[in-house]
């Protein structure tokens, strides 16, 4: 009896490890340590705070925790930075019919939706102070009160938060409640930057390309050893999200072909970094001269990388808007006539840091 139990447990451990390995790709020591920590912490109920730079994959860690938690409910994710402050309370706690103008019916909040499962609050450091107090009360009492309601609803959820900020510094500066910080920081997890685990890049590349192999009939790109070394030497300020951009470009530009180190440095990575730091091959002034200007550019340069050029323009516009508006995403979105959530998604996709852009 004992012997069979031991074998079954081993099989279950292998299955668990396989699920995590498929979600969090990489076998570097830091990733193995992170996955061991997830496997240890996941079955419990205590809050987890996932920390790491933008683009490292904090939400994947949250998914791994939920997947291995054994909870029957769903994981409900909320990006606190992507929802305007005046709407975030209703989004989290729900509202009753008639609670405010436009509340034509009762709405169940995200916390209630996470009952029996996991609530993932991304960018918790951007949560307004008044909502921090309300969240703390919900964590302590395991009850929520909808906006405009009187009754409290019992909830049972596992809280996982994420931030790219140093919340301890925010506490010292009075920007984040100390009591909430200690309540949510029971199990801190640090997700490593990609430049701390460059040995994982070949495996991540292969996984990403296999996920999108249906995009091309010409075959997958093949990165040479020299190309992989060039990728490993890159600083990866945008982390795994930036690597995904590289894979997306390679799938289009090098389908069924070898990718060399020169291709990596001159094409794949330059689309990220050179677009931010150097003028586009065909400068905007020349392209803005109408059809005649376009004809002259094509005659003199032979071709125009339209996709790269348009992305360069988009990056410059967003960075300029953030700089003019001192890093305020809402104001920058308004000046660009975009929805705030649309701008945030573009910033993530293009690896634009609002702090760096504001300081420019």
- pLDDT higher than 90, residue 200: yes
Average per-residue pLDDT in the chain?
Answer: 85
Say whether both 102 and 161 belong to one domain.
Answer: yes
Say whether both 177 and 225 belong to one domain.
Answer: no
Could you list the residue range(s) of the whole structural domain that residue 29 is in? 2-192
CATH of the domain at 141: 3.40.50.300
For 43-52, what is each residue's pLDDT tens digit?
999 999 999 9
Say whether both 174 and 253 belong to one domain.
Answer: no
Q: Which residue has the higher pLDDT, 134 or 310?
A: 134
Confidence label for 150 from pLDDT (cuts 50, 70 and 90): confident
Rounded CA separation 58/122 (Å): 8
Write down how long the chain is: 360
Q: Which of 177, 192, 207 is the last residue of a domain?
A: 192
Q: Which of 152, 168, 192 is the last residue of a domain?
A: 192
CATH of the domain at 349: 1.10.8.60
Say whether both 249 and 279 belong to one domain.
Answer: yes
Confidence label for 296 from pLDDT (cuts 50, 70 and 90): low
Confidence label for 301 from pLDDT (cuts 50, 70 and 90): low
Orientation angle between helical segments 201-211 and 239-253, nearest 10 degrees: 60
Rounded CA separation 135/117 (Å): 17
pLDDT at position 275: 42
Say whether both 329 and 259 belong to one domain.
Answer: yes
Q: Which of 154, 175, 192 is the last residue of a domain?
A: 192
Confidence label for 303 from pLDDT (cuts 50, 70 and 90): low
Strands 118-122 and 158-163 come out as parallel
pLDDT over 90 percentage in the chain: 57
- pLDDT higher than 80, residue 216: no
Report which of 301, 223, 305, 219 is spatially closest to residue 270, judged by C-alpha positions.
Answer: 305
Report which of 72, 31, 58 is spatially closest to residue 198, judged by C-alpha positions.
Answer: 31
pLDDT at position 295: 65
């Amino acid at each position: 009896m004992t012997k069979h139990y031991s074998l079954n447990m081993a099989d279950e451990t292998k299955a668990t490890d396989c699920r995590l390995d498929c979600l969090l790709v990489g076998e570097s020591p830091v990733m193995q340590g992170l996955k061991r920590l997830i496997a240890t912490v996941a079955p419990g109920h205590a809050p987890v705070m996932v920390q790491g730079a933008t683009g490292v994959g904090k939400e994947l860690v949250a998914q791994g925790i939920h997947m291995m938690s054994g909870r029957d409910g769903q994981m409900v994710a909320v990006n606190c930075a992507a929802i305007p402050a005046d709407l975030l309370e209703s989004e989290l706690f729900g509202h009753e019919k008639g609670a405010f103008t436009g509340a034509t019916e009762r709405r169940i909040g995200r916390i209630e939706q996470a009952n029996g499962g996991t609530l993932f609050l991304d960018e918790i450091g951007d949560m307004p102070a008044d909502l921090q107090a309300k969240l703390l009360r919900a964590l302590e009492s395991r009850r929520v009160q909808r906006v405009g309601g009187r009754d409290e609803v019992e909830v049972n959820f596992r809280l996982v938060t994420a931030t790219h900020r140093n919340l301890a510094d925010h506490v010292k500066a009075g920007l984040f409640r100390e009591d909430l910080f200690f309540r949510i920081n029971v199990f801190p997890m640090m997700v490593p930057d990609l430049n701390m685990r460059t040995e994982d890049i070949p495996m991540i590349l292969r996984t990403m390309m296999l996920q999108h192999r249906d995009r091309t009939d010409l075959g997958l790109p093949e990165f040479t050893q020299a190309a992989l070394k060039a990728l490993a030497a890159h600083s990866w300020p945008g982390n795994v999200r930036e690597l995904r951009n590289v894979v997306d470009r390679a799938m289009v530009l090098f389908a069924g072909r070898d990718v060399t180190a020169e291709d990596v440095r001159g094409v794949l990575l330059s689309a990220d970094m050179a677009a931010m730091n150097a003028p586009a091959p065909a400068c905007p002034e020349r392209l803005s001269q109408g059809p005649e200007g376009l004809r002259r550019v094509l005659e003199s340069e032979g071709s125009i990388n339209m996709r790269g050029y348009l992305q360069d323009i988009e990056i410059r516009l967003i960075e300029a808007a953030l700089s003019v508006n001192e890093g305020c995403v809402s104001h920058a979105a308004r000046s660009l006539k975009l929805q705030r959530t649309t701008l945030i998604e573009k910033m993530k996709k293009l690896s634009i840091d609002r702090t760096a852009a504001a300081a420019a």
